[in-house]
Amino acid sequence: MYRERLQLKPGLLICAARAIFSQERGLNASLPKVVVTRRLPGVSLSGLSERVALAAPPPESPMPPEELLGLVPGAAGILCTLADRIDASLMDAAGPSLKVVSNFAVGVNNVDVAEATRRGIRVCNTPDVLTEATADLGFALLLAAARKFSEAERALRAGEFTGWDPWGFLGVPVYGGTLGIVGLGKIGGAVAARAGGFRMRVLYHNRRRLPPEQEKSLGAEYRGLDALLSESDFVVLCVPLAAESRGMIGRERLARMKRTAVLVNIARGEVVDEGALAEYLAEGRIFAAGLDVYEKEPEIHPSLLAAPSAVLLPHLGSATVETRERMGRFAAENLLAVLAGTEPPCPVN
Ligand code: GLV
């Protein structure tokens, strides 16, 4: 749709990118070398090419790790996505020329930030611009899972809608429920704001409790994680992936949730034990789940695919035209700022 809106075809885009690439390669050998790992909304290749030498035309699909490894030697910058692993071995391959890793995402769990910091490489991300879009999607998943949208639509498309059914696809009420937000940062706060319209009581859990005035303005009450899980009708995961959040929602934690509860994950798949979640859904030990992220993307646990009460989306949190364009502009600005020796708009380290 986005391509249609721009009236561009992938083939034409690749040709245009190749033209820019070959032209710049010849003319601007003195410019800093940059690897852009994928064609991205909002990242103007012609704009970038005035300031950097693109190592290769950014591909339409994820760049295979070995290709990235082959392109980075001598690069000063990498503009990458959450699908690219930027670790010590990639930094070794790039060598001492590498100054900046600009991630087209707010989460930077795909980048070894500690290692980059140790080497003096700046890491940047794209927060803020995606907060509202991601919160919209989290709330959409909450509603969809609570009211069985996916299961009911699948049945309708399969020709199984034979008339209004007083027993069909009965969900759980959202209005007036208790919402537990794990990770009340910017996105979590935006989810909390949406809950106001549904007259929900909002609980939250963070590593560090927020100051009372912030709790008050967000209308959120602090709980330990276990208490939040047992009190909430809806649990929305918004935590960044880090050592302390990896595997945070495992079997024992799922066991604390109400049988009527809905789990929504818009954070990272690795926060949840997917196998355990699939079992809980299959056994009706929680009501439903709405997931946008997965442990081993793009693979989905087969038992989740088989769970009718799971609403599954292909990592769409920030996927609106405006948001993705803003992310791209932001990612390019971060990259160019570091290469120009100035402070990037959004540094992580
Ligand atoms: C998306 O998941 C992001 O981190 O931006």
What is the Å distance from ligand 1's center to 107 Cα? 5
Model pLDDT for residues 329-346, shown as the tens digit of each residue:
999 999 999 999 999 999
Q: Could you tell me how far CA 125 lies from the centroid of its own chain?
A: 12
Question: Taking all residues of the chain, what is their mean pLDDT, rounded to a whole number?
Answer: 93
24 Cβ contact list (under 8 Å, min separation 6): 31, 49, 53, 54
Cβ–ligand 1 distance for 317 under 6 Å, the answer yes
Q: Answer whether 156's CB lies under 8 Å from 150's CB.
A: no
By alpha-carbon position, which residue is closest to atom 3 of ligand 1? 105
Binned at pLDDT 50, 70 and 90, residue 28 comes out as low
Query: Is a pLDDT exceeding 70 seen at residue 170?
Result: yes
What is the Å distance from ligand 1's center to 111 Cα? 13
Q: Of the candidates 184, 127, 144, which has an alpha carbon nearest to the alpha carbon of residue 334? A: 127
Binned at pLDDT 50, 70 and 90, residue 279 comes out as very high
What is the Å distance from ligand 1's center to 266 Cα? 9
Candidate of 124, 128, 134 to mutate for ligand 1, largest count of ligand atoms within 8 Å of Cβ: 134
Binned at pLDDT 50, 70 and 90, residue 148 comes out as very high
What mean pLDDT is predicted for residues 95-123?
Answer: 98
What mean pLDDT is predicted for residues 299-320?
Answer: 98
Task: Output DSSP code: residue 270.
Answer: G
* Superfamily designation of domain 2-129+323-339: NAD(P)-binding Rossmann-like Domain (3.40.50.720)
pLDDT confidence of residue 21: 53
> Residues 124-157, buried b or exposed e (16+ Cβ, 10 A)?
bbbbebbbbbbbbbbbbbbbbbbbbbbbbeebee
Binned at pLDDT 50, 70 and 90, residue 165 comes out as very high
* Superfamily designation of domain 131-312: NAD(P)-binding Rossmann-like Domain (3.40.50.720)
Binned at pLDDT 50, 70 and 90, residue 4 comes out as very low
Residues forming CATH 3.40.50.720 domain(s) in the chain = 2-129+323-339, 131-312
Which atom of ligand 1 lies nearest, measured to the CA of 105?
Answer: 5
Cβ–ligand 1 distance for 82 under 6 Å, the answer yes
